[in-house]
Structure 1
């Protein structure tokens, strides 16, 4: 079941939540039975009496069943399933991005509407339940069953909330800034995958220098074999990683997901069409980490690969079934590229937009923009227009030429400046 505390911004004769698939047995509003109906994922709830504007209320939904994976075309290159899933026979849990949460929790399933969460997960030994936030308590139900209670007290969007259940082992440490780090691995995880997260504390200190204090009580990771192939997700305060098969987990992917705790989780887009504000900046954190650790050639190689990737996306190869190619020299703007291109465009086009802003305004001003935009917009929904306005205010300049070319433009320059010593 799910219980949600909410505030009515207007008088509500009825209201909608996003919830699909599972069988609903009862709905109450403030403890009184409420009528409900469902059309696909839209759950409409009609309380026994209208809820007054500015009133707090509580809605509870009781349900049961086995979640069916949600299908989202934005994920078509990685497989379209998201939500509550199974990985092999020993792990179940949530990979929500972008909209999969609605297959296991009723919610307003939108990145701009955050909430605090408490998870109560009952599992049989030897399984352990791991979730976003801080473990509050483990309650023994009987000799071989326990209820794990986790709480995320900072606002969190549904797309980066997570629960995972498996035979996890916990590895604890403390970052140099005092933040607890707790990582979760399955027995038999390669030592190289465990060691891949050793730089986390150093990375966190570097990001605090750039952006300000780490925004949560603790951090950590989970490694899930065959998760999202060769990828990871910035689940809040507890990032989730694939094991990357025979390859080592890349150091810059560790940085990327950690950076998202600031840009993506605390600062969050108002709409998916502005996703480059998450992914373009997180990809640029990889560039910054290479640069910070003296690997300028690797930083420039990443930028060059992004430029080539943008051209590749424009050509729409066979695996982009149903997406027409563009004319020569044309590319897809980073803002509002369409559902199937949302994740494709946000990374490569986004990192180029960020890098070329830095080249335009210089390092000191660029890093001022980066920190100012984050500081002023924590837990507020942001748009591309908000970012451009902040950048213009910090620089005292009209940045229309940069925005028209690298954010809204559909033509790519023949080249762009790389980093130099």
Structure 2
């Protein structure tokens, strides 16, 4: 006689989960996360939740030594996984046990744990490494800048591979603890809040914490001799700004701009909602480059951004990114418009607020200034391609798309979209298509055609009412041709704001 045993479905599921996976069920994680422009960026098979970086840096020799502890979760049964790092590795441990490792490509660190990693299980990874970041070139390009008194990591679309191992793509954001020991008399600047600092045997250690998810390219490190100012915003947010002690003639203009960061952030809150992070500020190291970058909570500014005097507009641009680009990050680098179009339009809104030219006047000027046969119009802000990722069209035509949206749905819905979007996707990732859908939901209007015209067609759109000859002439106060609004010179001075070097097709 045979007895039939019925197992409840919940118990059956748990029994299935308890069955060990066979070796055949474990496969390597992908060596790239699947980005359209940079297929080798990031990695598949796991998600990082936290980076703990304990570093020592010697400015005199550019020697960086580090131990990175990475907390992650396996998203598949993993036999092997990759990290992104271009420095020399001496040891890797996974879940406390020594792991085999090898390198491949420009920055791939292939890790084979002693035991395979089961899907949805927590993973701890420890990597010991060292090297001179300035000597590391990938396709002739470096994400590490040497300065007379130290070094700086602040680049886009990536800089992490020059100073810590990571899943190097905005899709995998994490919290950070960054602890850096440098010779006494030298400072180490990073993201977030300075938790503590202490000195011992000629070295000072600085401990920084970013407690909200942060993309790896937004992590920054600057070592040098800085003059540091601190303050608090009206609502108690800590503000820390740092200026290299050898900025020369640019020092005053840099301070006159960056010391207004708290004021700018408070105004941006009225446009985009509550500031999303635990700290605020900016830093200006003595680098020769000319760009600025929205490194999370503490934007990087090149001294050359202030070569012609104070420029609060660049501060507006980088702080606007804290909402558009940092809290809400791209899901794919082709979606760069949801970073740059909005940061540029924020500059136009600041101009409007300051009475130096309304966003409509600036849009009319930009539209009228570019002839129909200007190659500017062939770049598609919604998918510009890796070679044009930071083209002027992504910024200015991208901002024109927002002015077109504002005219189409009206100020009430437009500003509801601008404020609601960073809340809807806070600390996550999004695509251009997500923004289009969100704007349609808020405005109750079909907008796909409008966005297709302004973001994806390789030609100059027909003149809308706000950019017609009469409207543009009225905005300029003359019919004799385009005359720039008062704020334009300062806005245009930020055109190279993110030209960090030729993006690498990797």
TM-score by length of 2: 0.74
Task: Decide whether aligned partners of structure 1 residues 69 and 259 sit closer, same or farther in structure 2, where only a CA change above 3 A counts.
Answer: farther
Taking the aligned partners of 1:213 and 1:5, their CA distance within structure 2 comes to: 29
Q: Confirm whether residue 170 of structure 1 aligns to residue 231 of structure 2.
A: no
Taking the aligned partners of 1:307 and 1:363, their CA distance within structure 2 comes to: 23
Larger mean CA deviation between 372-381 and 176-185 belongs to 176-185
Taking the aligned partners of 1:374 and 1:409, their CA distance within structure 2 comes to: 27
Q: Report the counterpart of residue 322 of structure 1 in structure 2.
A: none
1:82–1:99 CA contact under 8 A, matched in 2: no
Task: Decide whether aligned partners of structure 1 residues 44 and 346 sit closer, same or farther in structure 2, where only a CA change above 3 A counts.
Answer: same
Q: Report the counterpart of residue 334 of structure 1 in structure 2.
A: 381
Higher radius of gyration, 1 or 2: 2
Taking the aligned partners of 1:236 and 1:263, their CA distance within structure 2 comes to: 11
Count of residue correspondences: 396
Q: Report the counterpart of residue 201 of structure 1 in structure 2.
A: 262
Taking the aligned partners of 1:301 and 1:232, their CA distance within structure 2 comes to: 22
Q: CA deviation at 1:297?
A: 5.9
Q: Report the counterpart of residue 3 of structure 2 in structure 1.
A: none
Task: Decide whether aligned partners of structure 1 residues 173 and 85 sit closer, same or farther in structure 2, where only a CA change above 3 A counts.
Answer: same
Larger mean CA deviation between 305-314 and 245-254 belongs to 305-314
Taking the aligned partners of 1:335 and 1:53, their CA distance within structure 2 comes to: 35
Report SS of the residue matched to 2:79: coil
Q: CA deviation at 1:44?
A: 1.3
Q: Confirm whether residue 109 of structure 1 aligns to residue 174 of structure 2.
A: no
1:50-81 Cα distance to aligned partner (Å, 9 max, x none): 11111111111111111235547xxxxxxx74
1:315-334 equivalences under 5 Å are: 331-334=378-381
RMSD: 2.2
Q: Report the counterpart of residue 321 of structure 1 in structure 2.
A: none
Match of 1:357 among 398, 405, 426: 405
Match of 1:64 among 112, 123, 130: 130
Q: Report the counterpart of residue 96 of structure 1 in structure 2.
A: 155
1:229-254 Cα distance to aligned partner (Å, 9 max, x none): 1x311111111111126312411111
Report SS of the residue matched to 1:213: coil
Q: Report the counterpart of residue 76 of structure 1 in structure 2.
A: none
2:222–2:285 CA contact under 8 A, matched in 1: no
Match of 1:84 among 144, 162, 165: 144
2:253–2:311 CA contact under 8 A, matched in 1: no
Taking the aligned partners of 2:212 and 2:353, their CA distance within structure 1 comes to: 30
1:306–1:348 CA contact under 8 A, matched in 2: no
Task: Decide whether aligned partners of structure 1 residues 90 and 311 sit closer, same or farther in structure 2, where only a CA change above 3 A counts.
Answer: farther
* Stretches of structure 1 lacking an aligned partner (at least 5 in a row): 73-79, 316-329
Taking the aligned partners of 2:183 and 2:210, their CA distance within structure 1 comes to: 23
Q: Confirm whether residue 15 of structure 1 aligns to residue 81 of structure 2.
A: yes
1:307–1:349 CA contact under 8 A, matched in 2: no
Report SS of the residue matched to 2:129: strand
1:283–1:351 CA contact under 8 A, matched in 2: yes
TM-score by length of 1: 0.88
Q: Report the counterpart of residue 58 of structure 2 in structure 1.
A: none
